[in-house]
Structure 1
Amino acid sequence: MRQRLALWPIVALLLSLSLLLATAPGAQAAGATGKVYVLRIDEGQVIDPGLAQFGSRVFDQAEADPDAVGIAVVLDTPGGYVDSAVRIKDRLLAAPKRIKTIAWVENEAVSAGALIATAAEYLYMAPGSVIGAAEPRELFTGETADYKALSVVVNYFTSAAEARGRDAAVARAFVDKDHPIPGQTDTLLTLTYQQAADMGYASGVAGSLNDAIRQAGIAEYELVEPQWTFSEQVGRFLTTPWVAILLLVLGVIAFGIEFMQPGLTGPAALGVICLSLFFLGNALVGTAGWVEIALALSGVVLMLIELFTPGFGVFGLAGIAAFGGAIFLAAPSAGLAWRYLVWTALAGAFVLFALIRAISKRGLGRMLTLSDSAKDWSAQSPERSHLVGREGRSLTVLRPAGTAVFGDQRLDVVTEGEFVPAGVPVRVIRVEGTRIVVRAVDKKS
């Protein structure tokens, strides 16, 4: 009887351990349903900075979710910007071991899309899909990129393929037509779904996203598809190249009109809005920050100093350099940055010149010139010292040079550096040869 009683503590201990093991987190996870996060680059979407920023958020959410077991990228894209694809490629390669990364090519993964597909741990092709044709092209001409740019893209592909155990020679043939693989018939390699599977570059053929996930070894799962936020959509739209170029051109032209005719609040407001939207868009997609914004503001301030202060162009040149530097740093890539700068300079100069000519030809020159005629203009005599102390009114904006009227005389005058709007009382404070220096009269004093 005593021996039977002595067994009870041992039995109770075994039952307790069994209960603890049954309720342990590992035991729950073994039979639980995991989550597979989905990043869609389908329906012909272009891989751009906005998409890369959205992709980063999808990865962040998945990696922060303890129930996440996979990230699936659905691909049907003609490609896009290499720098944006590299951001997604890096996240795929750096995903935690507990999260499987799966790429499913629904229709085509060409150009930058092929890089993303290569970087996934598992790559499945839908029947009829293709992958490859990733030769980099110049933004301006559409011609094949130079050898330096080509070499960089080749390394992106080959390093991703090596990291995932895929044939690096195939990855290189996607990019470099001068390094074909045996049996390649196309100038630039493009593989059909069956060729990719037969070569082992793809993990297999899958008829659907769910089929691809199950073939990757995830039996029980729940699909999670994060949606685009409003700010992400706005950022993607504002960083579309033609939208960004339009914002820059309109902003430069608007400020040019304001500089020619100060006091017109409309052009200044339009310029501020356009340039602010350009930098806001790049900030929303993660390519611009406070450094770029501060550099742009300093450029505008320097150009304003040059406008209202006599000098030798130092402030103006420094302002242009600072503003151009801000645009260059804010752009998603160096190639796109040069495109912004060149098109902004050319289009801004051409449109501004055409605008001034059109206004003058249509009799609207009063917007940019004096409204009064010069019939009462009188030449300045060599001796004007008697004008000291005389009061008149600025006829044009003095910044610092301009025209003032004294009685029935109109004279070229200059301030000591301050800005004086048109129609303000002024007084001659000194005459230096033919140079008449004036100062605004403070009526309160």
Structure 2
Amino acid sequence: MRNREIIMIILLVFSVLTIIQSNQSSSEVVIIDIDRTIDHGLVHLVRKATESIDRNNTVLLRINSYGGYLDSADKIIDTLRERANYCIAWIDTGSKAVSAAAYIALSCRRIYMAPGSVLGGIKPYPFEEKIVNYIESRIRSFLAEKTNISVEIEIFIKQLVREGKSYTVDELSELGIVSKASSIDEVFMKENIVKVKSIHKAGLIESILSTLTNPLVSSLLVLIGGLLIIIEILTTGFQGYAIPGIVMLVTGLYGLYLVPADVVLLLILLIGVSLIAFEILTPGFGLIGLSGVILLIIGIFIGLYNTPPEARTTSLYIALSSIIMIASFMLFIMYKAIMIVKMKKPSISDKIINQIGYAKTDIFETQPGVVYVMNEDWTAYSLKGLIKAGSKVKVVKIEGLKIYVEPVD
């Protein structure tokens, strides 16, 4: 009897600890706003938001999007499932989860919708049977984690994907797919969330990535970059067209997912260093070197941005020190170049006026002769009267390549 009581106490303590652990695993939440087109920019946001989180943290997606690209949605789903044990989708009043956004929402462990919100419209474009079958199968596996796959659920999947039908919160809650909540605070209460660890919204980097990975923009970058390289090849001498051409070409290929991000970063850094070296070896006005510094700063910034937070401090100081030294050096070179340009260079007229030479031939006022001045022969006219050959003369005026002289006693 006593042994049975001990076993019961142990089981009770174990149950309590399990409940506590369960509550602790969902007590903190990382919020990610899915409020734009589902593309590579949003993939980057989700990866950055989840790269250093504890797997026990809950991830809550605040969704309000018309959808986007299937491959980007798959990458977001795979990232969330790899890095977070528990994901919640929240669709607020007046918000929508359509197409790829609905696909992401259905992948979450729990879905909460407020009155007036909508989910659905997962009809792929182009409408190909193999893609349709893939989406249906994956949604079926998502829903199997939440409810039994009944006949009604199968009909729901078909209508969702093949017809692009959208559903209200009441329709989906009757199917057991979503739960109702009037506010995000109610979601926190139902999920035992007591603390928001961090909130992540799309910013400038995500906007740039979204633009670069747009198929039209990427194609134009490849086209223009290729044309600039061709122009550089066909033009005599180095004109600099190849530099932006290569950058645009590789950036466009990256946008088309044909070149990895590390290659783009390496190319930017190499071009930056090459331009700086070119400026040092062939001093000019500093514009090429300044372009190199700018590319170097962009490359280091991208590298720092992709560096994990725990390793960012040391590399940040090193990078900033490098940038300051290189930028200071290039600014010094530019300053010296500008000062040289501003210095007034003496003209031929300034150099030859008042110089003393001698007449190699007779020189008349109307008939030119030859004088030797500053180690050169010059066509000269007499300013007044005849000047005999061998006489010392002084230059008093210059017009083009003709000089006017007078005798010197």
Q: TM-score normalised by the shorter chain: which range applies?
A: 0.5 to 0.7
Gaps spanning 5+ residues in structure 2: where? 1-16, 268-409
Conserved? CA contact 1:38–1:226, under 8 Å: yes
Q: Deviations over 1:187-213 (max 9, x none)?
A: x321112111122121x2222222223
2:260 counterpart (270, 282, 288): 288
Task: Confirm or deny that 1:114 pairs with 2:102.
Answer: yes
In structure 1, the residue matched to 2:181 is 206
> What is the letter of the counterpart of residue 288 of structure 1?
P
Conserved? CA contact 1:36–1:222, under 8 Å: yes
1:248 counterpart (212, 222, 231): 222
1:260 counterpart (230, 234, 244): 234
* Correspondence 1:279-358 to 2 at 5 A: 279=253, 288-289=260-261
Task: Confirm or deny that 1:162 pairs with 2:144.
Answer: yes
> Cα RMSD (Å) of the superposition?
3.6
More helix by share: 2
Task: Confirm or deny that 1:123 pairs with 2:123.
Answer: no
| SS in structure 2 at match of 1:47 | coil
Task: Confirm or deny that 1:34 pairs with 2:10.
Answer: no
Task: Confirm or deny that 1:272 pairs with 2:246.
Answer: yes
Shift of the alpha carbon at 1:276?
A: 3.5
* Correspondence 1:14-163 to 2 at 5 A: 34-42=27-35, 45-63=36-54, 68=57, 70-94=58-82, 96-97=84-85, 100-106=86-92, 107-138=95-126, 145-163=127-145
Shift of the alpha carbon at 1:104?
A: 0.8
Q: Deviations over 1:305-360 (max 9, x none)?
A: xxxxxxxxxxxxxxxxxxxxxxxxxxxxxxxxxxxxxxxxxxxxxxxxxxxxxxxx
Conserved? CA contact 2:218–2:256, under 8 Å: no
| SS in structure 2 at match of 1:245 | helix
Structure 2: distance between partners of 1:89 and 1:166? 21
**TM-score scaled to structure 2, two decimals?**
0.52
Q: Deviations over 1:209-229 (max 9, x none)?
A: 2222322x2142225213557
| SS in structure 2 at match of 1:103 | strand
2:168 counterpart (179, 192, 198): 192
Structure 2: distance between partners of 1:288 and 1:222? 34
Aligned residues: 246
Change (3 A) 1:280 1:147: closer
Gaps spanning 5+ residues in structure 1: where? 1-23, 139-144, 178-187, 296-445
Conserved? CA contact 1:127–1:193, under 8 Å: yes
Shift of the alpha carbon at 1:83?
A: 0.8
Alignment identity in percent? 25
Change (3 A) 1:277 1:30: closer
Shift of the alpha carbon at 1:137?
A: 0.5
Structure 2: distance between partners of 1:31 and 1:259? 64
> What is the letter of the counterpart of residue 208 of structure 1?
S
| SS in structure 1 at match of 2:64 | strand
Structure 1: distance between partners of 2:147 and 2:159? 16
Q: Which 4+ stretches in 1 moved above 4 angstroms? A: 26-33, 94-97, 227-233, 279-283, 289-295
> What is the letter of the counterpart of residue 210 of structure 2?
R
Structure 2: distance between partners of 1:221 and 1:231? 27
> What is the letter of the counterpart of residue 117 of structure 2?
S
* Greater C-alpha radius of gyration: 2
Shift of the alpha carbon at 1:265?
A: 1.8
Structure 2: distance between partners of 1:174 and 1:53? 27
> What is the letter of the counterpart of residue 42 of structure 2?
L
| SS in structure 1 at match of 2:245 | helix
